[in-house]
Chains A and B, each alone.
Chain A
Amino acid sequence: MSTAIEVAGLTKHYGQVTAVDDVSFAIPEGKITGLLGRNGAGKTTLMSLLTAQEFATQGTIRVWGEDPVENAAVLSRMCFIKESQVYPDSFKGSHVLRSAQWFFPRWDVELAQELVDLFGVPTNRPVKKMSRGQRSMLGVVIGFASRADVTFFDEPYAGLDAVARKRFYDVLLEQYSESPRTVVLSTHLIDEASHLLEQVLVVHEGSLVIDANVDDLRGSAATLVGRASDVDLFATGRDVLDRSHIGGIASVTIAGLNDADKALAASAGLEVSTVSLQELIVRRTGANPAEEAA
């Protein structure tokens, strides 16, 4: 599998604040990659750096082997749908869509119209007067109709209801299966989106904490419940994400387990259950699970 984007030692400071801290990873070509993390973790900054909207303090970014900064050949093949996108005062939705076709060489007019109808984007309304959800939908339409080689969706469904989100996932899958392309999706709704993702990058306070294939990740963590002594014995020396005791019963969540490990745990009389991607990531990023899930 070839690589679309390669990042090495990437760091971004804003004054005293380190938004991205010495991050290295690769984004494979033709896959859907999830960029996950809490608010302020550095997701938007990272995508702004990859699309040359921001300048790196240190490190290198290579998109198809080239530096994207001021590189028209690279930038015209990418599309970044940013949650906080600024629009000219006088622009209605229709002006945004009309001008989009001048900047995305593979722009699909028919698809744009189809999606406008599907999502019910009020194209004759000034963008300034649109609700957050309507602006999100306008962004989603641009993201798909641009048919760029790499498309970044930054929290694409901020302000969207469950029905609109479902439509987004459906369109994403449909578009992706018609013509596989590289998609990078940042989101909070990890469980909702997890079935779409093939790879995940998890950032926490500017650092990359997980860079893994989703299937490996999902299968590798498990929660074990049993007698405290048995649980503690099994957990010794392993990557314990979470641990709790109630009376003589203990529960631990452990990462990096293979099938043999799980079989061993089961034979030791422990109850083994898989952990959702969201739960796993929430634990890795050190938050209180109840608070994050809310």
Chain B
Amino acid sequence: MNPVAHTEQVAPIHVPSPAQRLFNVSRLHVANPYPTLVVPWAITAVIFGLNIAIAQMVVSAAGGTSNLDADAFQYNGGITWIVVFMLVVGVQAMSLTFPFALGFGVTRKDFYWGSTLYFVGLSVLYATGLTLLSWLERATDGWGIDMAFFQPWGLMENPLSTVWLLYATSLLGAFFVGAATSAVWVRWRAIGMYVFFSALAIIVVGAGWLITSTNSWAKVGEFFTSTSIEALALWSLPFTGIVALVGYTLIRRATSR
């Protein structure tokens, strides 16, 4: 081995553009596509199948849907599991993928906004998929038994665009709440968690106290019943935006320790 004879001049490294870097971070999250692109649909299919089976059992025991209340299968909340699942995806994105990405020389800024791209993409993907299934549910008269699995709690009475909006904003909110909470952990570890959850508990109890002492529970209830689902979904966006910025501020000074 002669060090001189084989020496070649390597081309200088071309640094990827900012857009390319964000895209690279977003696909880092799906380098293994199974956990977030395949498994959630598979689990949803299983939950759906079990619920259909149970509903069919009830229908057959009752001797037909005509013997049941019209809204017997309208309040199945099984699909909400997916919001909780995406919250956990948001948590792991910061607690595990963040230190991994730092090891690949990714800046915190690129990591956070690339992950945001991924969160938005996944929210749109899942909202669209679940809305398509809702459409199918309508087209088949609730799978033939008036069942509202993908649009429970009266959502079936609303336009499909509302179903989409509700899914998209809920999932986006779940991602960022998970990510920001996890960012507190990444930044300050256990101490951060104690302070965060103590503060959260104080705020919740304090708010309850304030509402009770001013006799405002009726007003709160009225707000939720009088405001349309679309408006409620849109109201979540400024909240999600603030949570996202808080998460960014935390990650900017976080380390991989």
Contacts and interface: CB of A to CB of B under 8 A. Distances in A.
Interface of A: 48, 51-55, 70-73, 75-80, 82, 85-92, 95-96, 98-100, 102-106, 147-149, 173-174, 176-181
Contact of A103 (B11, B104, B252, B253): B104
A174 B6 CA distance: 10
Given A76-B105, A88-B96, A178-B8, 20 more contacts: A54-B257, A55-B255, A70-B109, A72-B18, A72-B107, A72-B110, A73-B15, A75-B105, A76-B13, A86-B96, A86-B99, A88-B92, A91-B32, A95-B31, A96-B31, A100-B104, A103-B101, A105-B13, A106-B10, A181-B10
A277 B231 CA distance: 72
Contact of A90 (B34, B104, B252): B34
B2 interface: yes
Nearest to A89: B96
Categorize the interface residue count of chain B: 35 or more
Contacts, number: 109
Nearest to B109: A70
A180 B100 contact: no
Interface stretch (B20-28, B55-63, B79-87): B20-28
A77 B16 CA distance: 11
B104 A72 contact: no
Given A91-B31, A105-B14, A173-B1, A79 B105 contact: yes
B97 interface: yes
A70 B105 contact: no
Nearest to A126: B32
A87 B28 contact: no
A103 B100 contact: no
A147 B35 CA distance: 31
Contacts of B34: 90
A180 B13 contact: no
A53 B253 contact: no
27 contacts: A54-B255, A54-B257, A55-B253, A55-B255, A71-B107, A72-B21, A76-B13, A76-B16, A80-B103, A80-B105, A86-B99, A86-B256, A87-B96, A87-B100, A90-B32, A90-B35, A95-B31, A95-B32, A102-B27, A103-B106, A105-B15, A106-B13, A148-B13, A149-B13, A174-B1, A177-B1, A178-B8
B12 to A, nearest CB: 9
B159 interface: no
Contact of B100 (A88, A98, A102, A106): A88
Contact of A180 (B7, B35, B99): B7
A199 to B, nearest CB: 17
A85 B100 contact: yes
B105 A103 contact: yes
B100 to A, nearest CB: 6
